[in-house]
Structure 1
């Protein structure tokens, strides 16, 4: 059962990366820093370092701000999509590593990133259309879902 739950959390953190690319690695860095997941002696033990947590947090906040700008490219452009695949796969692999399922976590994170990118795009498009073209409230809602979801997933790693 633990294997399934770990992979499910890795999938969900990948979905978060599909919504906001840097939120997922920031969330798992905080989970490591707060000892919600144990990465000691692994290839990602550096993730719990205060400098790493700070840099990833800053990148996540900058992304939240820049997402509101009108010139921000679509998450479906190749560069944006690949960034989400990388961060989703990475965050999923981190969660998997804590329980010895690095490659399973990587795969689940990648799948989640695809789902989050495409599903998030479509959900936002439809919600904006239903909101008479007003993007900001929908974007802020998506920000909240990504941040709260990312940290909820990170917190759940402590009970798996």
Structure 2
């Protein structure tokens, strides 16, 4: 039951930052938090995926600060977050052989995280009178939550 909740939550994180949970999944696989040996996604724990996904996640955090970055609710951004949530949820539940359920829960979580995260950030930005502090808080929540979810999945 706990894995189901974690899969949903990793999807919520994907709704906040699409590549952060994917990078956390790669690190989780690399560090043995999610034992993927013998499964189709075992490649995720290699150094190349860890480095590539970490760099992409870092670039996303930087790009998110740019005022011309499109809304997370535009179709291509929204779809990317749902796919990232589904992938991360599948990774999380693959060792339990429930990867399809994990993918579904991750996708649902991504929808929740995308819509809820946009609302949360808008309200937080309104309180601060500017977007940057809200974006940095959202970044911190996404990074800490993604790694915490994969760490406790062990």
Bin of the TM-score, shorter chain as denominator length: over 0.9
Residue of structure 2 aligned with 1:152, choices 140, 145, 148: 148
Listed one character per residue, the Cα deviations across residues 63-103 of structure 1 (whole Å, up to 9, x for unaligned) are 00000001000000000000000000000011111211111
Match of 1:76 in 2: 73
* Corresponding position of 1:90: 87
Find 1:51's aligned residue among 44, 48, 51. Answer: 48
Deviation at 1:61, TM superposition (A): 0.1
Mapped partners of 2:78, 2:140: distance in 1: 20
Mapped partners of 2:82, 2:134: distance in 1 = 23
> Counterpart in 1 of 2:128?
131
Which of 90, 115, 120 is matched with 1:118 structurally? Answer: 115
In the TM superposition, structure 1's runs of 4+ consecutive aligned residues that sit over 6 Å from their partners are none
TM-score (normalizing by structure 2): 0.98
In the alignment, what sits opposite 1:33?
A: 30
1:13 to 10, 15, 19: 10
Cα offset for 1:130? 1.7
Please report the TM-score for the alignment, with normalisation by the length of structure 1: 0.95
The 2-side partners of 1:144 and 1:138 are apart by: 10
SS in 1 for 2:34: coil
2:59 aligns with one of 56, 59, 62: 62
Q: Which residue of 1 aligns with 2:138?
A: 142
Matched residue count: 154
Secondary structure in structure 1 of the residue aligned to 2:38: coil
User: How much has 1:43 moved relative to structure 2?
Assistant: 1.2
